[in-house]
Structure 1
């Protein structure tokens, strides 16, 4: 039975119903289950979050199933309302998901708000798997712990540490430095990486910022407080960063890379 209240937003719950029933129709007997990971699974989802989902399939979608899924996601963002435009997720092959040996394999993926699908490893990462197994919200299907082994601490930590080496270039390569949201995103990602390296777990954006305020160098607290407070501003492509804040974000990312 489909979980009727997976989030606190009634409209989003209706969108997830549309997603799951559409995926079941497209996949037939290959459908295993559907889950929320990301911010909502960590208890931090709000109207500034995308809604990260994962649908588990028995095998890689065949040509007919893939075409049906592409039609579904081409149409979903255009149904109107707020949440139809804020889905992001993948169709995970059960065999890939079962063990960490399957990390990095490409799954059929739809980016935040997009109506075009691609094959991507975006959702097949140690941190997404950890969130799914330890905190995932089941929409329908077996509990995630029945589908996958735990993510070893060293795999999670090593992945976070490796990402810090190129974090600034990676983020500012796709997120313009002239946009305030991108400055905040850089600080958040550095904070989440540090949290994972120190704890072997994954935190929400807000919880990671608060954790570093307590456990990190106190000199960074004004920057972290600015990012935390400005989160409620959301994404405005026309809003520039506060004066000096991007430079501070770069310096903070370098600090995190050093102490990690």
Structure 2
């Protein structure tokens, strides 16, 4: 996969060669962008990162989420080309080749919340098979792309996506917590530090969004939870402090005595908070 710009790159400008702190990943993203652009031709709009790298706090164990919008729905030939590309990517050497996850939305379906419900050709992390799914077609992804998205190449994402009101993001998080709270509380292996970090940080990020209408990184959400005494019960401070400290040593997954029960209780607490928060004012919702 060549990383040298081709003459065809000029209409879109140069590719951002250092969108992340990881040279190996940057090399892979440059190649992905070039190959996708060659397959899509004039239908190529741009390439962007959302997810952990966009909101901050991504680590070497993080996945890397991308969106590559197109000017029109994919043709059969374009779809076949993209499927071939993503069949090859996970077989490349290096850990980042199995960390990519993304979608190819038609710009008309991405631009506003009216486009929700449409499936986009997507690939999950580490998979070689692409599927048409709505997994990425969400309010949260649009908010992150517009407000925090990292441009690999193409126009500013704020020119591609209409603003997503904070109340809409909060309502989406209420739905997620309503459905996921009990699942998180029962997640297998809660006795390990890794599982505890996942559940506690996920719930902290959801609670932060419920309170602010914004999406932030795991570490920022955990610090917010410690500082927001009016928003979050202080009895959770020992658990959150422990998780913050352990994020500096992600390879240590030894069981933490008593933390499994506390983690499950925190997940149920977050679900309860979501159920008690009043629904947002309709005037602040979807435009």
Unmatched tracts of structure 1, length 5 or more? none
Q: Higher mean Cα deviation, 201-210 or 175-184?
A: 175-184
2:237 is matched with 221
Residue 198 (str. 1) matches residue 245 (str. 2): no
Is the CA contact (8 Å cut-off) linking 1:42 and 1:131 kept in structure 2? yes
Distance 1:233 1:118, change over 3 A: farther
Q: What do the CA deviations read for 1:66-116 (whole angstroms, capped 9, x no partner)?
A: 121111111111110122121111112111111111124221111122222
More displaced 10-residue stretch of structure 1: 226-235 or 199-208: 226-235
User: Matches of 2:97 and 2:227 in 1, distance apart?
Assistant: 37
Between the two proteins, the alignment pairs up a number of residues equal to: 257
Q: Distance in 2 between matches of 1:233 and 1:74?
A: 34
Equivalent residues in 2 for 1:168-247, closer than 5 Å: 168-171=181-184, 176-177=188-189, 180-215=193-228, 216-234=232-250, 241-247=255-261
**8 Å Cα contact 2:181-2:271 kept in structure 1:** no
In the other structure, the counterpart of 1:80 is 93
User: Is 1:90 aligned to 2:103, yes or no?
Assistant: yes
In terms of mean alpha carbon deviation, does 148-157 or 225-234 score higher?
Answer: 225-234
Structure 2 spans left out of the alignment, 5+ residues: 1-13, 275-287
Q: Which secondary structure does the structure 2 equivalent of 1:90 belong to?
A: strand
Deviation at 1:203, TM superposition (A): 0.6
Deviates further, 175-184 or 219-228:
175-184
Which residue does 1:3 correspond to in 2?
16
Paired residue secondary structure (2:125): coil
Q: Is the 2:182–2:271 Cα contact (8 Å) retained in structure 1?
A: no
SS at 2:128 equivalent: coil
Pairing partner for 1:27 from 36, 40, 45: 40
| 2:267 matched residue in structure 1 | 253
- Structure 2 Cα separation of the partners of residues 142 and 54 of structure 1: 13
1:62 aligns with 2:111: no
Say if 1:23 and 1:235 are closer, same or farther in 2 by CA, change over 3 A: farther
Q: Is the 8 A contact 1:183 1:241 kept in 2?
A: no
C-alpha distance 235-58 of structure 1, shift in aligned 2 (>3 A) = farther
Q: Is the 8 A contact 2:72 2:106 kept in 1?
A: yes
Listed as ranges, the matches of 1:122-137 within 5 Å are 122-137=135-150
CA distance in 2, matches of 1:229, 1:59: 47
Distance 1:140 1:105, change over 3 A: same
Q: Name whichever structure is richer in strand by fraction.
A: 1
Give the Å deviation of 1:229: 2.9
TM-score (norm 1): 0.90
Matching residue within 162, 166, 177 for 1:164: 177
